[in-house]
């Protein structure tokens, strides 16, 4: 089976803990990515995502030119190893509801695997379908909130984008991020249904 070393992206985008959030955001924009790895003397110390910026900076009306990455980055992150197979990576993504997994060697980031990397190389196996379901599912789906701000109306499960308290104070930019997140989640659900249906058809053909 393919391993992380076979499918990961080796050209990493990184920033330092003291770099301004705005600088990291510009890297995301210019390279069309959703996260930047935060490294200190070559070691991985955190990951800064577009959601981190939307919820922890923009939604609080902080100045991204003045806020350092260390203040808003996620430090409790999941990482993988070069020899992990795609099934192990997919299960980790599903369990922790993440779409990208940094690959490290002796604490140094050497690559990153996205969920799309896995789907591109191994789209029809059961662990891919299950991981996509888990990634897309709200953590507390039983609690729903209607959020309305500047024409934005969306029904969200807690954990989809922001808590109700944050949502009520959204700036226009954060509202845009929230809208994008909701649309992406709906798209994930549709993709999950398609993959599940195709997987079921494959199983049926094998039995026949």
Contact 157, 42 (CB under 8 A): no
Question: Which residue from 53, 61, 17 is spatially nearest to 34, judged by alpha carbons?
Answer: 53
Contact between 127 and 103 under an 8 Å Cβ cutoff? The reply is no
The verdict on pTM exceeding 0.75 is no
- How far does CA 141 lie from the centroid of its chain? 18
Bridge partners (DSSP) of residue 113 are 101
Bridging pattern class, strands 100-105 and 43-49: unpaired
Q: From 122, 145, 171, give the residue that closes a domain.
A: 122
Report how far residue 82's alpha carbon sits from residue 22's, in angstroms, rounded to the nearest whole number.
31
Note the pLDDT tens digit of each residue in 58-117: 999 999 999 999 999 999 889 999 999 998 998 898 888 888 899 999 999 999 998 888
Same domain, 23 and 113: yes
Q: Which residues of 29-47 are buried (b: 16+ CB within 10 A; e: fewer)?
A: eeeebebbbbbeeeebbbb
Quick one: pLDDT at residue 138? 57
For residues 69 and 12, state if they share a domain: yes
Are 20 and 100 contained in the same domain? Answer: yes
Q: Where is the domain boundary, 122, 147, 171?
A: 122
Domain range enclosing 10:
4-122
Q: What integer pLDDT is reported at residue 117 of this predicted model? A: 86
Asked if residue 154 and residue 105 are part of one domain, the reply reads: no
pLDDT tens for residues 26-75?
999 999 888 899 999 999 999 999 889 999 999 999 999 999 999 999 99
Q: How confident is the model at residue 170 (pLDDT cuts 50, 70, 90)?
A: very low
2 vs 83: CA distance, rounded Å:
9
Query: In the chain, how many domains are there?
Result: 2
Provide the pLDDT confidence category of residue 153 given band limits of 50, 70 and 90. very low
pLDDT digits (tens, 9 = 90+) for 115-150: 888 888 776 566 666 666 665 565 544 333 433 433
- Could you give the C-alpha distances from 32 to 22, 35, 112, 195, in angstroms and in order? 15, 9, 15, 26
Does residue 189 lie within any of the structural domains? yes
Q: What pLDDT score does 152 carry? A: 38
Q: Looking at the DSSP assignment, which residues form a beta bridge with residue 154?
A: 147
Cα separations in angstroms, 152 against 116, 134, 161, 171? 28, 26, 14, 11
Determine the average pLDDT of the residues in 6-30.
94
Residues 163 and 110 in one domain: no
- What pLDDT was estimated at residue 127? 61
Please tell me whether residues 40 and 89 are part of one structural domain: yes
* pLDDT attached to residue 97: 84
Q: In the listed set 122, 146, 173, which residue is the last one of a domain according to the structure?
A: 122
| β-pair partners for 147 | 154
């Amino acid at each position: 089976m393919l391993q992380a070393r076979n499918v990961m992206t080796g050209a990493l985008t990184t920033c330092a803990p003291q770099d301004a959030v705005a600088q990291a955001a510009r890297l995301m924009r210019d390279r069309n990515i959703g996260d930047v790895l935060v490294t200190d003397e070559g070691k991985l110390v955190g990951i800064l995502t577009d959601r981190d910026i939307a919820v922890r900076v923009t939604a609080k009306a902080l100045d991204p030119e003045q806020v350092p990455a260390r203040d808003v980055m996620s430090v409790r992150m999941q990482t993988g190893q070069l020899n992990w197979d795609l099934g192990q990576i997919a299960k980790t993504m599903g369990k922790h509801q993440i779409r990208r997994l940094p690959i490290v060697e002796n604490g140094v980031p050497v690559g990153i695997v996205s969920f799309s990397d896995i789907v591109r190389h191994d789209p029809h196996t059961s662990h891919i379908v299950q991981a996509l379901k888990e990634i897309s599912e709200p953590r507390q789906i039983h609690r729903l909130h209607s959020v309305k701000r500047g024409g934005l109306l969306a029904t969200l499960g807690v954990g989809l984008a922001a808590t109700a308290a944050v949502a009520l104070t959204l700036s226009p930019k954060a509202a845009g991020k929230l809208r994008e997140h909701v649309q992406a989640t709906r798209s994930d659900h549709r993709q999950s249904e398609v993959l599940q249906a195709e997987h079921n058809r494959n199983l049926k053909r094998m039995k026949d």
